Amino acid sequence: MKKNGFTLVELLAVIVILSVIVLITVISVNSTVSETKGTLSELQIKNIEDAAKTYYLNEGMNIGNTCINVSDLIDKGYVDSDSVIDPKDREEMLGSVNINYKSNKFTPKYQSNECKKICRPVTTATTGNVPEGKYEIGDEYTCEVKDGVWYTFFLLSKEDNNIELNLIMYSNINDDGVPVDSNEVANKGFVQWNESGNLTEGPVTAINYLNRATSSWDNIDNLDEVYTESYYDEYFNTSNKYTINLTGKARMIYVSESYEVENNNFDWIDDYGRGLNDYPINEVIDVSGYWTMNTWYGSKPTVIHSTGDSMVYVFNQDYNYGVRPVIKITKSNIY
């Protein structure tokens, strides 16, 4: 005769079955929650990237590659601080968005770290200004062009978007990327403006030299710009135009930039290197001037040269002169 109720073995079996069901349910719920958090995290990233795209366009930055910190997006009101909380760990997603601009298309990509800092402002009472949000021509910086390698630069000009800055290195550069700053390298750092002699090609030789010299500057973005120059050929009495694709790390100075600097009486514009006792190197060894991007006064290329205490322009294509790098950074690259 069977007794009412369950035996101990039957109870244990039921408990085991229920435990398995609960375990499966918990795993399923946790998996669903995890997937949901992952989806929300991806959505947060998408929202941040979309905000960066809007910021990029609204602030007039759609002319090159750049990096935008999420903190800047918050400060400017493009995203709310509550909307950048990662649902997976409840931490703020205070990274940055890299904007890659190419062929008139821009692609944003979120990264967990902030934009890389490259340049530090220099506190000095004799040269330039200490940048405190004003970014004036003549501000002096030291920039880490590649890991562990720092060079001095000066603020040369600002782009119309007021975000990108053009900095010029304090001296001419050797073809191995080292500044011309001692007697040991005095016989280097020279290049003819155009070895082919074909003026329609523009300063091809100097640009190629500059590309080689700065190719190892890993911390500096490529320019990805097009330079167009119009000039008048005196011999043939014709107006001409040439175009150069600037795809390297640096370019040469524009004559318009040199005028602006000269009007502010900055000595560093005619320092081609720093020699003994901090004198301009042209007073210590024979380093005479550096090429600009432009040609004018007919079809002759323009050289910035120093005579005594003043800067003059030399029009010559038959001699070798120095090359001085101009790089482009954004304000987010400054410490």
For 284-328, what is each residue's pLDDT tens digit?
Answer: 444 567 888 886 545 567 777 765 555 666 666 667 788 899 999
Q: Provide the token pair at 176.
A: 């191995």
> Residues 6 or more apart from 175 whose CB is under 8 A from it?
188, 189, 209, 212, 213
Tell me what pLDDT residue 279 has: 40
φ/ψ of 208, rounded to 5, equals: -60, -40
Domain boundaries, the chain: 8-111, 119-333
pLDDT above 90: residue 82 = no
Tell me what pLDDT residue 200 has: 57
Tell me what pLDDT residue 251 has: 94
pLDDT above 60: residue 182 = no
249 compared with 304, residue with greater pLDDT: 249
* Gap between the Cα atoms of 238 and 250, Å rounded: 31
332 band by pLDDT with thresholds 50, 70 and 90: confident
Tell me what pLDDT residue 164 has: 84
Residue whose pair of structure tokens reads 């990237």 in the numeric block? 49
Tell me what pLDDT residue 326 has: 96
This model's pTM is above 0.85: no
Least confident piece of the model among 24-28, 99-103, 261-265: 24-28
Tell me what pLDDT residue 302 has: 78
128 band by pLDDT with thresholds 50, 70 and 90: low
134 compared with 119, residue with greater pLDDT: 119
Least confident piece of the model among 79-83, 152-156, 193-197, 208-212: 193-197
Least confident piece of the model among 91-95, 158-162, 195-199: 195-199
Mean pLDDT of all residues belonging to the chain = 75
Least confident piece of the model among 63-72, 162-171, 279-288, 307-316: 279-288
